[in-house]
Amino acid sequence: MAKSKSVFFCQQCGYESAKWMGQCPACREWNTFTEEPVVIATGSGAKSRVRTGQAPVPKSISEISGEEAPRITTGIGEFDRVLGGGAVPGSLILVGGDPGIGKSTLLLQTCRNLAASGRKVLYISGEESLTQIRLRAERLGDFNDHLKLLCETDLTAIEECIASVKPECVIIDSIQTMCSADVTSSPGSVSQVRESTNILLRIAKSMDITVFIVGHVTKEGTVAGPRVLEHMVDTVLYFEGDRHASYRVLRGVKNRFGSTNEIGVFEMSGGGLIEVTNASAYMLEGRPEGASGSVVVCSMEGTRPILLEIQALITRTSFGMPRRQAAGADYNRVNLLMAVLERRTGLKLSDCDAYVNLTGGIRIQEPALDLGMAMAIASGFKNRPVDPHTVVFGEVGLSGEVRSVSQAEARVREAARLGFDTCIIPLSNAEKLRGIKDIKLIGVSSLDECIPLIG
């Protein structure tokens, strides 16, 4: 016998409550509780369950093989880089991103490459019809019969189909459209998303199948549904970029089988996504030379150095309260650096509007960008350009000191590879890189030493 009742779930973290609350006690978010019906089993069966058969026996760690299963390469080098060398069999991979950013296109291209290599692939869509998927696939190239398509949202039917087809890779588009008959709430609810992910996780582990699931994102840029969703999967990838621009960035924020914070850069074209192997040159394309407030910096994304341009526009304010705006950079960090510049170098920035932009639309919050951002602000204030053949990186403290950063050698070599002849870096890093002769290194220990280098 089963009886139903209603409980309240937090849409952000999945916290469960018997009554509605304005603020979630777990994640501290406001107005996130929604009411959902649940079914509770009653009777003697719910009180005790008799286990039959032999109890599970744990194994010692020495009895377990440490050899990693061969990875499944997707045929897309940038995608494989973010995954850590390819997809691991039996893993559950979540791909999130804004609507229309290219998530389905990326996975459909992956399906084409896997099918071309002779692997069985099953593409399950809960949002599009078979005809719509076929029309989109025709724009991406030729597909063979190793790719199977299915339009279904019932997980019971999906599990039966997977058991009969026995594919090596499954794509679920999207997790918010899937539903389980054991949960009475509507698709996309906290209960359904959590239960659907749990079923797909069991399928991936028990059948040794790689499962990609597409997840919609909220207006804050996080995957819609409970936060436990990201904890359950093995890998979380975010597809970022401006819908009106041609580039796309695939960022790994969680990976149990590789490094995190790796990125892959793509360009959207009429025939699908194209890999951008030289991301630094792509990000610096069209950079103005001789303009004030423009500084080239080097950021590390995982093991990959990428050169970017920081632009700063500083003008006297026309209002009582100066306006500060940051695109791609941390807004609070911009305010902090302006305060340090005014206090430690004497630049009168308190009555100035400041607009800081990380070109290309990419979002980075690495501390190594501090020195480049500070020099861009000072350059915009003085209206004097920084040498366009110079790369700057380093962390700035509240005392105006320039602190060392990690992987400095990789950053310097990337700058030299792209033809830059000077690097302004922390003094402690410069002392360790004296053996590099391809590029001139200028070591600085404070912001006071950087200001004379402008113009």
pLDDT at 288 over 60: yes
Tell me the pairing of strands 147-151 and 169-173. unpaired
CB proximity list for 171: less than 8 A, separation 6 or greater: 107, 110, 111, 121, 122, 123, 124, 211, 212, 213, 214
Q: 294 and 385 in contact (C-beta within 8 Å)? A: yes
- In the chain, how long is the greatest CA-to-CA distance? 82
pLDDT digits (tens, 9 = 90+) for 174-198: 898 999 888 877 787 788 888 899 9
pLDDT of residue 220: 61
Q: Which residue has the tokens 């950053």?
A: 411
Q: Which of 74, 411, 82, 72 is nearest to 240 (CA)?
A: 82
DSSP code, position 15: -
CA–chain centroid gap for 41, Å, is 40
pLDDT digits (tens, 9 = 90+) for 25-83: 888 888 888 887 765 544 444 444 444 556 778 888 888 876 777 899 999 999 999 99
pLDDT digits (tens, 9 = 90+) for 376-390: 999 999 999 999 999
pLDDT of residue 141: 86
pLDDT of residue 301: 82
E strands in 220-372: 235-240, 247-255, 263-269, 272-275, 294-301, 304-316, 324-327, 352-358
Q: 377 and 354 in contact (C-beta within 8 Å)? A: yes
Rounded average pLDDT over 93-97: 92
Max avg pLDDT among 140-154, 229-243, 273-287, 354-368 = 140-154
In this prediction the pTM is 0.78
pLDDT digits (tens, 9 = 90+) for 429-448: 999 998 888 899 999 999 99
pLDDT of residue 181: 84
pLDDT of residue 18: 86
3-state secondary structure of 169: strand
- The confidence band for 87, taking pLDDT boundaries of 50, 70 and 90, is very high
Q: Which of 289, 295, 237 is nearest to 94 (CA)?
A: 237
pLDDT digits (tens, 9 = 90+) for 193-250: 888 999 999 999 999 999 999 988 766 656 656 667 888 899 999 988 776 777 888 9
Backbone φ and ψ of 379, nearest 5°: -65, -40
Q: Which domains does the chain have, with CATH numbers?
A: 2-44 (no CATH), 71-277 (3.40.50.300), 282-453 (3.30.230.10)
pLDDT of residue 47: 42
Rounded average pLDDT over 308-313: 95
What percent of the chain shows pLDDT beyond 70?
93
* Alpha-carbon dihedral sign for residues 83, 88, 94, 98: positive
